[in-house]
Structure 1
Amino acid sequence: MQNKKRRGFHFPVRITVIGALIALQIALLILLIIALSEQTVVVYFVFEAISIMMVIHNVNKPGNPSYKITWIIVILLFPLFGGLFYLFWGDNRISPGKRKRWSRIEAGSARYLSQDAEVEQALWLSSPFYARQSRYLKIESGYPVYSNTLTDCLSPGEKILPKLLELLESAQRYIFIEFFILAQGHMWDQIHAVLRRKAAAGVEIRMIFDDIGSCDRQYKGFMQGLRSEGIKIAVFNPFRPSVDVFLNNRNHRKIVVADGIAAMTGGINVGDEYINELNVHGYWMDSAVFLRGDAAWSFTVMFLEMWQFVTKRSTDISGFYPLKRYSAPGFVQPYCDGPLSESCAARGIYMQIIAAACRYVYIVSPYLILDSEMIGALVQAARSGIDVRIVTPKNPDKWYVHTVTHYNYTQLLKSGIRIFEYTPGFVHSKLFIADDSVATVGSVNMDYRSYYFHFECGCWMYNTQAVLQVREDVRGIFAASEEILYEKWKKRPVGRKIMQSLLHLAAPFM
């Protein structure tokens, strides 16, 4: 495997070449602006006026204050062309064509996501507080709440893989797979063996993976080989030399579906580090939740929406309805979010869980890039007597993101929030749990990229088996982690404090 040629350019070479071409386009734009400004004072003042108008627009538009402040700093630092930069790349500007296509796909699938009134009523009778969270997700994300769904939360990756293989083996009609990273290696070899056999038996298999996440982890002929086996492949948002802002929007979702009745989501990708057969940042801790029952249908629709968006081909969703039913207690609600959505359901449900907690909120996230509203929600919960605990990694995968994560520690620790760092290695799980009652598992990190730039997904659960499994999982992570104490933390070197403060200015782009 190691001697094979990678698909396309080796990623560092590829990103360097593409980055240089993008930088060249930006440089030409800047040179054009400077050349015009030297011709006449009028042109110069036109650019100045554009910058001023962009600042005014930024201040008055709805949106995250931290993101707006960062752009205002950029515009003020570069008054000549900062306004034009914002005009082209601010506000996460995605082409009207892409937005229209996504809206059309969502409208077409809405009829397959109607809410069962009896399930909704049962949830309201069980708990109006959690029913409000469910209603929020339905309004903002479009996906209903279900009952009759078995849930099973597993970690780490060594335990997840056998369950994933079992899910794939259960398929009789179709398998859908969607990952940010799909890397060749031992984990993929085991998955591929099942897929190859299933495809030969007539099971329809479709796969989506993100180009940025996967291109450096696959070898030449990878996609051609899969297609020759009858497996359908779609690559999300191929990375090309363009200043199109959509290049910044990646598909970070993790979805596996079998026959519309069994599904998986979580933090885990397909790569040997996720099952600890490749040591990247020490021991890798990750989580996933497996569903068997009615709620798996939402992940089926999610995948087919993305498939239509990437391939630009319509799909008759009605042909994929599940043929089995299950019986199970509790309530389960898959959801998704992304830059083409008007709301931010992924961030919003985290805020709702924090606000509704009565005893405790436990959070596990590889990154902690927080805006003022999220910090405020966490601080208010802690100051009202809620036991708020957060786990982040001791060993980071990105030093600059880890530095900004550390910036947020001070205010949280001062407010009585307990922070732990996972010492065996890197914790990649994305877990939220409150009061032994409600939990989420999914792909959503606590950072701006997950909330505003990436396509994400998750699963909200109330009074299911997986909720208590998440609790035990988090407790195990606490036991393997080092608690950060405020008295010691505030004595960290001045140089680190300065670096954290400086990098925090760029937090909305992380």
Structure 2
Amino acid sequence: MEFIKNHIWQILIVFNYTLALSAVATILLKKINPTKALSYIIGLLALPFLGLIVYYLFGQEYRKTKIFSRKNVLNQTIIKKIQEQLELNTKSINKVDDLLDQKSKLIPLLYNSEKSKLTINNEVKLIKNGDDKFKLLFKDIKEAKNHIHLEYFAIEDDQIGTELLNLLCEKASEGLEIRIVIDDVGSSISSKMKRKIKDCGIQMHSFMPVLFSKFTGQMNYRDHRKITVIDGKIGYVGGINVSDHYVNANNDRYWRDTHIRLAGEAVKPLQILFFTTWDFVSDNALEMSKSYFPDHNCKENVPLQIAASGPDTDWSNIMESIFIAITNAEDYVYITTPYFIPNSEILTALQVIARSNIEVKIIVPKKSDSWIAEYATNSYLEMLLAAGVEVYHYTKGFVHAKTMVVDGVFSTVGTTNMDYRSFNINFEVNALIYDKKISSELTEFFNEDLKDCEKLEWQSWKKRPKRTKIIEAIARLMAPLL
């Protein structure tokens, strides 16, 4: 014991580097991106203890280790049957508008990587901002007859959140099955409200609970999805969480966002996605029944796929879909995102098509809700401007919409930001829509937003102060952790 007391630091250092060298060996064997690998190796060897902590929190590739299991849901007979019913042969896929042309490459990509079926018999309504979303959502909830499922990154029991939760309690008293999944870091619900929810008979679980959620920030893998499924017939997905921040009637700062309301076949894969999360967060396996997957008879035929990604998928499905859509653009690409901290693949794709005389326009907030994300985003803009990309700062308030339109025939709306965290770490979901009408409406949204933007000019942007550029460079180094 005396020896240990006298040599405690030497022992700890030896222990640290034993673990660090083991981690280095693991990194090398994984054959990950060389830049990323080198960053972690330098951190492990140059920063005793701190390097290990950073690697433990951010460096492990859970997509490979499969700690997030989906087998209990996906192996059930009813789910397999639903997936088979959604199966489309080549002839059916070819019925999709011929103008999709090369954009149709997305269909087999998502099917081959994650068995994401193309669904055709769908109705899609675009929703602009939280005020309109909650009016529609509350109406649909009031008319619900069987069950309501919610999966949200952020639910707060403020004014709009309390209104929603009280309404769900009313529906639970009518005998409906109500299930809620909240992210433990993103959400904030008081103990009093949680007791009321439980007493109402609503089942609610937190995704990956943490001890001190208010102090964890963005650490670890989070459920960033915003999903609602009502009676298996109506679905909602997009960027709008349940919080007064998203309702301009209750918010001091104007909040610009986009969501969609779905009815039809696409609700089924959205429902399956909810159940895979529910299976992970709940203690008891839920037996599927046909009541969760009723038949549909929509009047419209909007082709779309539900794309999901996260540590439970083999591939970065949404990022790959965005990449293919960009690289196959022939006329234009319009992107709106609150956080633009792209990986090298997306950054290169945008620069290449812009230099190929394809119109590329990107809207990002002038003033973000995170100063470090704002500086990190701004660090990428000069090289985009130099390549001919048109970049616009949204000035009316905060733009939180996550949308993209390509050539007027393909569009995507969902929860995915153009950043490392959405592409590689968080659980995300997007609707990929192959429809000229929806693309046209989203383009109108985009052009309306441009009226509230400042266009950046390359010559003036690159003259910003050196101090600002240094802060941006530091923020950019932290980009994979944001």
Q: TM-score scaled to structure 1, two decimals?
A: 0.85
Is 1:313 aligned to 2:284, yes or no? yes
Partner of 1:68: 37
Give matches, 1:164-183, under 5 Å: 164-183=137-156
CA contact (8 A) 1:286 1:428 kept: yes
Distance in 2 between residues matched to 1:213 and 1:246, nearest whole Å: 9
Question: How much has 1:407 moved relative to structure 2?
Answer: 0.3
Residue 160 of structure 1 is matched in structure 2 by 133
Which ranges in structure 2 are unaligned for 5 or more consecutive residues? Answer: none
Once the 2 structures are TM-superposed, how far is the Cα of residue 427 of structure 1 from its aligned partner?
A: 0.4
Partner of 2:83 in structure 1?
113
The 5 Å alignment of 1:448-459 reads 448-459=420-431
Q: Distance in 2 between matches of 1:55 and 1:385?
A: 43
Cα deviation for residue 54 of structure 1 reads 4.3
CA distance in 2, matches of 1:475, 1:62: 43
Distance 2:177 2:206 in 1: 18
1:141 corresponds to which letter in structure 2?
E
Task: Return the offset for 1:272.
Answer: 0.9
Q: 2:190 aligns with which of 219, 230, 251?
A: 219
How far apart, CA to CA, are the structure 2 residues paired with 1:56 and 1:368?
A: 32
Query: How far apart are residue 107 of structure 1 and its match?
Result: 4.1
> How far 1:252 moved relative to its partner?
0.7
Show CA shifts across 1:146-192 (max 9, x none): 01100011112122221212222332111111111111123224323
The reply on whether 1:186 has 2:159 as its aligned counterpart is yes
1:143 to 112, 116, 119: 116
What is aligned with 1:297? 268
Q: CA separation in 1, counterparts of 2:7 and 2:69?
A: 38
Task: Kindly state the Cα deviation for residue 113 of structure 1 after the two structures are TM-superposed.
Answer: 2.3
- Checking the alignment, whether the CA contact within 8 Å between 1:289 and 1:441 is kept in structure 2 is yes
Point out the more displaced range, 87-96 or 145-154: 87-96
Q: Secondary structure at the match of 2:418?
A: coil
Structure 1 CA distance for aligned equivalents of residues 245 and 182 of structure 2: 17
1:167/1:143 Cα in 2 relative to 1: closer, same or farther (>3 Å)? farther
1:233 is matched with which residue?
A: 204
User: What amino acid is aligned across from residue 191 of structure 1 in structure 2?
Assistant: L
Percent identity between matched residues is 27
Q: Whole-Å Cα distance in 2 between the matches of residues 288 and 81 of structure 1?
A: 43
Does the CA contact (< 8 Å) of 1:110 and 1:142 recur in 2?
Answer: no
Cα displacement (A) at 1:352: 1.1
Q: CA deviation at 1:105?
A: 3.8
Gapped regions of structure 1 (runs ≥ 5): 1-31
Looking at structure 1, the residues matched to 127 and 13 of structure 2 have their Cα atoms a distance apart, in angstroms, of 60
Instruction: Find the aligned partners of 2:194 and 2:15 in 1 and give their Cα distance.
Output: 50
Aligned to 2:382: 410
Task: Please name the residue that 2:479 is paired with.
Answer: 507
* 1-structure distance, mates of 2:131, 2:462: 38
**Mean alpha-carbon deviation: is it higher for 445-454 or for 410-419?**
445-454
- How far 1:328 sits from its partner (Å)? 1.6
* TM superposition shift of 1:426: 0.5
Query: CA distance change for structure 1 residues 203 and 241 in 2, over 3 Å: closer, same or farther?
Result: closer
Give the corresponding residue for 1:26: none
**Partners of 1:410 and 1:490 within 8 A in 2:** yes
Counterpart code for 1:132: K
Return the offset for 1:98: 6.6
Equivalent in the alignment of 1:19: none
2-structure distance, mates of 1:482, 1:246: 29
Report the TM-score, using the length of structure 2 for normalisation. Answer: 0.89
Q: In the aligned structure 1, how far is the partner of 2:437 from the partner of 2:232?
A: 21
Q: CA RMSD in A?
A: 3.0
CA distance in 1, matches of 2:241, 2:16: 45
Deviates more, 1:48-57 or 1:157-166: 48-57
Residue 59 (structure 2) aligns with: 91
Cα distance change, pair 49–211 in 1 and its aligned pair in 2 (3 A)? closer
| Range with greater deviation from structure 2 (389-398 or 195-204) | 195-204
Deviations along 1:91-140, one digit per CA (max 9) or x if unpaired, are: 33559997263344444445532364546533335345233201212222
Q: CA separation in 1, counterparts of 2:451 and 2:33? A: 35
Distance 1:299 1:54 in 2: 37
The answer to whether the 8 Å contact 2:63/2:311 transfers is: no
Q: Distance in 1 between matches of 2:35 and 2:143?
A: 46
Residue range with higher mean Cα deviation, 87-96 or 470-479? 87-96
Cα pair distance change 1:89/1:247, threshold 3 Å = closer
- After TM superposition, give the deviation of residue 374 of structure 1 in Å: 1.3
Q: Which residue of 2 is the match for residue 367 of structure 1?
A: 339
The offset of 1:237, in angstroms, is 1.4
User: How far did residue 83 of structure 1 move?
Assistant: 6.6
Q: Which residue of 2 aligns with 1:3?
A: none
Give the letter for the 2:200 counterpart: E
CA contact (8 A) 1:92 1:245 kept: no
Q: Please state how far the C-alpha of 1:230 moved relative to its aligned partner.
A: 2.1
1:489, distance to aligned residue in structure 2 (A): 0.3
Deviation at 1:193, TM superposition (A): 4.4
Query: Would the aligned equivalents of 1:102 and 1:309 in 2 still touch at CA under 8 Å?
Result: yes
- How much has 1:49 moved relative to structure 2? 6.8
Q: Does 1:199 align with 2:172?
A: yes
Greater mean deviation of Cα atoms: 323-332 or 155-164: 323-332
Given that 2:185 and 2:217 are in contact with CA atoms closer than 8 Å, whether structure 1 keeps it comes out as: no
2-side partners of 1:209 and 1:316: how far apart? 21
Q: Does 1:273 align with 2:245?
A: yes
Deviation per CA, 1:342-384: give whole Å up to 9, x if none: 2111211110110111100111110011122211011111111
Distance in 1 separating the partners of 2:41 and 2:65: 28
Task: Please tell me whether the aligned partners of residues 234 and 310 of structure 1 are also in contact (alpha carbons under 8 angstroms).
Answer: yes
Q: CA deviation at 1:325?
A: 2.1
Query: In 1, are the aligned partners of 2:66 and 2:311 still within 8 Å (CA)?
Result: no
In the other structure, the counterpart of 2:303 is: 331
Matched-pair contact (CA < 8 Å) for 1:267–1:286: yes
Q: Mark the CA change 1:72 to 1:146 in structure 2 (over 3 Å): closer, same or farther.
A: same
Write the distance in 2 (CA, Å) between the matches of 1:476 and 1:245.
33
Q: 1:414 to 1:250 in 2, by over 3 A?
A: same
Q: Which residue of 2 aligns with 1:438?
A: 410
**Letter of the structure 2 residue corresponding to residue 220 of structure 1:** S
- Mapped to 2, the partners of 1:502 and 1:430 lie a distance apart of 25
Give deviations 1:269-322, integer Å, cap 9, x for gaps: 001110113436x21001101111111111111111111110032122233121
